[in-house]
A and B are shown apart, each in its own frame.
Chain A
Amino acid sequence: MKIESKNQENNILEVENLAKKFVVKKGKMPWQKNQYVNVVNGIDFSIRKGEALGIVGESGCGKSTTAKLIMDIHSPTKGSIVYNSQELNDLKGKEKKKIRKDIQYVFQDPMGALNPRIPVIEQIYEPLIIHYGRDIKNYYKKAVSLLESVGMKESHGKMYPHQLSGGQRQRVVLARAMILEPELLICDEPISALDVSIQSQVVNLLMKIRDERGITLLFISHDLSMVRHLCNRTAVMYMGHIVEYGDNETLFNNPLHPYTRSLINAIPVPDPRIKKDDIILEGEIPSLLDPPSGCKFHPRCPIAGPECSLKQPELKTMPDGRKVACFALKRGDCNE
C-alpha cells in the first residue's frame, strides 16, 4: 500500500498521532476494569533522509517506547508509522522482514545485545545469513571491513563479548547493525552505559556513519548535550507528549517551551565562570498513573495560566519553523 507523502520534504519516516497505552493492573474480577497508563500520547514527527533526529526527555517521558513502537517491539494503540510511503502497521510476513532489514537498532546495553558464547565476528555477519542464506567467506570479509570501519581490528573478531570493553562491545553492536546496510538506525541511549571518555568515541563514530554512508539516525537520549552535538533536529518529550520540536540551532539557542528551558538550564556546564539564572524546576514528574489534566507540565510550570489545566495544548508551528505545544506562547510570555 502506497501512501502519498504529506509534505515535499524528503521524509524517510513519518509518525502521526502515535499512541501507546499499557495495562498496569489487570482487573482480577470480571467487574473490575483494567488500569492503563498512556506512555505515548498521540505524537507526530518525521525524520528526513540523511539527518539525525534526537528525542530527549527525562525518565518516563515515553522516548524509549516511541523507539520500540517504530522497531515493532510494541504495537501501537493507535496512530500510523509510515516508512518510505509504506504503513508499517499493515505489513506482514515477507514485506515486514524486508523493511526490518532497512531499519536497524542499537540499545543501551551492548552486553545484553550480544550472545556471550559466540565470537563477535560471527555475530556481526549473522544477520546476513538470516536474510540472504549461507556464504560465510564473503560475509567474513564484509564483517572484518566493518569491524575496521568502527575502529577495531580483525583480531578482535575472534574474541567473545566479555573479553571486550564496554565501548568495544557497542562498536561491535554498531558493526552488526551496519552489515545489512540499513537506511535508518535507531539508537536508544547507546552511550549511557559508557564512560565519559568512551562516549565521544562512539558519538564520533555515529556521526561518521551518518556523514559517510548517508544513514539516517534516530537518537534517543537523556543527554541533551550529546543530542545537541550529534543531531540536526530534536524533539523534546514530557509525559508522553512532544512539547517542542525543531532544528537544533533554534531549539537550543532559544528554547521556547518552559520545560525545554528548564531542562536545558538544569544541565551542568563544566565551566565555573558561567553563572546561570538560578531557576531550578521545582517538584517532580507526576505519576503516569495519575497524570495532571490539561498540559501535563502545568503543575511545575512557572508561567502556567488558567487554561493550561483545562486543555492539552497542540504543537503549533512558530515563525522560525519549530513547533511548540504551549498556551503561554500565545500570550507572549516566552518570546525573547
Chain B
Amino acid sequence: MNSAYIIRKIFRAFLTIWIVTSFVFLILRLSGDPTVSVLGLEASPEAVEAFHAKWGLDDPIHVQYLRFFANVFQGDMGVSILEGRSALTAVLSRLPATVSLMVISTILTFSVGIFFGVMASLYHNTHKDQIIMTVAASGFSIPTFVLGVVLVLIFSVNLGWLPSTGSATWKHYIMPVLTMTIVDAAVFARFTRSAMLEVLYQPYMKTALAKGMSWGQAVRRHAIPNAAIPVVTIMGFWIGALIAGAVIAESIFAWPGVGRLLVYSVKHRDYNVVQVIVMLISVSMVITNLIIDIIYGKLDPRVSIDRGAE
C-alpha cells in the first residue's frame, strides 16, 4: 500500500458518506417533520412555532443543510428530538445489543454456509449434494421477515418454547439469530459450492494429485485457498444484507438495538438520530470493504491493491 492508494481510498470513503448523508437529509425533510410526534395533534399554533424555532425547522432547507454539515465537522451530531439527549449517545447505547447479534450471526452464517458449500462441492452430483442444495434453495427463497414471523408463530405462539421479544437471556437470541442466519447461510452455501466446483476442475488440482497428494490433501491445500477468493469478495456485498437483516430481525423481535431505533426514528422524523445511524452504517461499510480489499490482496497475489501507482 502506498500513499496514493490510501488518499484515493479515503477520498472515496468521504464522498460515499457525504452522498448517503445528503440523500437521507433531503428525503427525511421532504417527507414530514417531527412536530406531531413530539407535541401531539392537539398542539397550539404557538407551541408549534416555538418548536420549529427551537430546532430551526423554519429555515430554508439549504440553510438547514449547511448548518447540519457545519455542526458535523465540529463533531456535533445534534440532539435527539424525541429523547432530548445527544443523538450519538442515544445510538451508542443501543450498539452493544446489535453488535452481539451481528457477531453471532456472522460466525454462524460463515461456518454453516461455507461448511455445507464445501461438502456439496466435494459430493458433486450425488444425493448429499442434492439434499444440501435443495435445503439451501428453500432457505434463500424465504424472505427474512416471513421467516421471522413464522418462527415466532411456531416457537413462541404454538409451542411456547422461546420468548418472542426482548434480549435478556440466551434464549432470546435464538430466533433473531436464526432469522438473520438462515437466508444468508443458504446464499453462502450455494456460492461456496460454485466457487469450489470452479476450482476443483482447475489443472493445478491435477498437479496436486500428480505430486502424490491424496484427494483430501489436495482439496485442503490447493482448492480451498483458491475458492476462498471469490467468497471473500462477496462478503463485501453481504455486509449490506447483514445490516438489513438486523433491522428486520430487531423490529420483529423488539430487540433493543440500533436497527429498531432506526425504524422508530425514521417513523417519527428524529432527524439527528437517523443521520447518526446512517453515518455509522456508511462508515462501517467503508471500513469492512477496506478490510476485505486487504484480505483479498493477501489471498490473491495476482491482485496488488496498489495497482496503477508504481
Direct contact of A and B (CB under 8 A): yes
List chain A positions with a Cβ less than 8 A from chain B: 25-29, 32
CA distance A28 to B8 in the complex (A): 9
CA distance A32 to B309 in the complex (A): 7
CA distance A137 to B310 in the complex (A): 60
Residues of chain B with a CB closer than 8 A to A32's CB: 4, 308-309
Q: Is the CB of B310 within 8 A of A28?
A: no
Q: Is the CB of B8 within 8 A of A25?
A: no
Instruction: List residues 239-276 of chain B with CB under 8 A from any CB of chain A.
Output: none
Query: Given known contacts A25-B310, A27-B308, A28-B4, what 13 new A-B pairs fall within 8 Å (CB)?
Result: A25-B307, A25-B308, A26-B308, A28-B8, A28-B308, A28-B309, A29-B4, A29-B7, A29-B8, A29-B309, A32-B4, A32-B308, A32-B309
Candidate in A27, A28, A32 with the most chain B CB atoms within 10 angstroms: A28
Separation in Å of the A290 CB from the closest CB of chain B?
12
Can you list 16 A-B pairs with a CB-CB distance of less than 8 A? A25-B307, A25-B308, A25-B310, A26-B308, A27-B308, A28-B4, A28-B8, A28-B308, A28-B309, A29-B4, A29-B7, A29-B8, A29-B309, A32-B4, A32-B308, A32-B309
CA distance A25 to B310 in the complex (A): 9
Chain B residue with Cβ nearest A27: B308
Instruction: List residues 292-310 of chain B with CB under 8 A from any CB of chain A.
Output: 307-310
Chain B residue with Cβ nearest A35: B310
Chain A residue with Cβ nearest B8: A28
Separation in Å of the A150 CB from the closest CB of chain B?
36
CA distance A26 to B308 in the complex (A): 6
Separation in Å of the A271 CB from the closest CB of chain B?
33
Separation in Å of the B40 CB from the closest CB of chain A?
56
Instruction: List residues 1-38 of chain B with CB under 8 A from any CB of chain A.
Output: 4, 7-8
Instruction: List residues 32-67 of chain B with CB under 8 A from any CB of chain A.
Output: none
Separation in Å of the A35 CB from the closest CB of chain B?
8
CA distance A133 to B308 in the complex (A): 48
Residues of chain B with a CB closer than 8 A to A28's CB: 4, 8, 308-309
CA distance A29 to B306 in the complex (A): 12
CA distance A27 to B310 in the complex (A): 9
CA distance A25 to B7 in the complex (A): 19
Separation in Å of the A197 CB from the closest CB of chain B?
27
CA distance A148 to B310 in the complex (A): 57
CA distance A44 to B9 in the complex (A): 46
Candidate in B8, B307, B308, B309 with the most chain A CB atoms within 10 angstroms: B308
Chain A residue with Cβ nearest B310: A25
Residues of chain B with a CB closer than 8 A to A29's CB: 4, 7-8, 309
Separation in Å of the A124 CB from the closest CB of chain B?
37
Chain B residue with Cβ nearest A25: B308
Separation in Å of the A280 CB from the closest CB of chain B?
27
CA distance A25 to B8 in the complex (A): 17
Chain A residue with Cβ nearest B7: A29
CA distance A145 to B309 in the complex (A): 57
- 10 closest residue pairs by CB, A with B: A28-B308, A29-B4, A25-B308, A28-B309, A26-B308, A32-B309, A28-B8, A28-B4, A29-B309, A27-B308
Separation in Å of the A259 CB from the closest CB of chain B?
31
Candidate in A26, A27, A29, A32 with the most chain B CB atoms within 10 angstroms: A29
Separation in Å of the B304 CB from the closest CB of chain A?
12
Residues of chain A with a CB closer than 8 A to B308's CB: 25-28, 32
Separation in Å of the B166 CB from the closest CB of chain A?
51
CA distance A26 to B4 in the complex (A): 13
Residues of chain B with a CB closer than 8 A to A27's CB: 308
CA distance A32 to B307 in the complex (A): 12
Separation in Å of the B5 CB from the closest CB of chain A?
9
Residues of chain A with a CB closer than 8 A to B310's CB: 25
CA distance A29 to B4 in the complex (A): 7
Chain B residue with Cβ nearest A28: B308
Separation in Å of the B49 CB from the closest CB of chain A?
52
Residues of chain A with a CB closer than 8 A to B8's CB: 28-29
Separation in Å of the A12 CB from the closest CB of chain B?
43
Separation in Å of the A72 CB from the closest CB of chain B?
29
CA distance A285 to B308 in the complex (A): 24
Residues of chain A with a CB closer than 8 A to B7's CB: 29
Chain B residue with Cβ nearest A31: B4
Separation in Å of the B285 CB from the closest CB of chain A?
23
Separation in Å of the B12 CB from the closest CB of chain A?
12
CA distance A25 to B308 in the complex (A): 6
Separation in Å of the B302 CB from the closest CB of chain A?
15
Residues of chain B with a CB closer than 8 A to A25's CB: 307-308, 310
Residues of chain B with a CB closer than 8 A to A26's CB: 308
CA distance A29 to B308 in the complex (A): 9
CA distance A29 to B7 in the complex (A): 10
Separation in Å of the A70 CB from the closest CB of chain B?
32
Residues of chain A with a CB closer than 8 A to B309's CB: 28-29, 32
CA distance A27 to B308 in the complex (A): 6
CA distance A32 to B5 in the complex (A): 12
CA distance A54 to B130 in the complex (A): 56
Chain B residue with Cβ nearest A32: B309
Separation in Å of the B305 CB from the closest CB of chain A?
12
